[in-house]
Amino acid sequence: MFRHAESGFEYLGSLNAHPSFVVTLDSEGVPTIEYLHRFGADDVQLKRIQYVDGRFLEVSGRGQ
């Protein structure tokens, strides 16, 4: 669950994401978790996760 805080957003719960991530707002104002996931030496993807209908869903990933 996200909630607004003085520093941005706070998250309460458990999430399977890299320990280093940021929470941003997408173009529609939805809080979005963003982090880089490395699949191998030459395969790094930006992962974006949003809380949709009570679940965290990956909404995009693109090669870096």
pLDDT per residue of the chain (64 residues) written in tens, 0 to 9: 666 778 776 767 766 666 678 888 888 888 888 888 777 778 888 888 887 787 778 887 554 4
| The pLDDT of residue 19 | 66
User: Is residue 20 within 8 Å of residue 35, measured between CB atoms?
Assistant: yes
Distance of alpha carbon 49 from alpha carbon 16, whole angstroms:
10
User: Is residue 31 within 8 Å of residue 5, measured between CB atoms?
Assistant: no
Q: pTM of this prediction?
A: 0.59
Report the candidate in 19, 51, 48, 43 with the shortest Cα–Cα distance to residue 33. 48
Largest alpha-carbon pair distance within the chain? 38
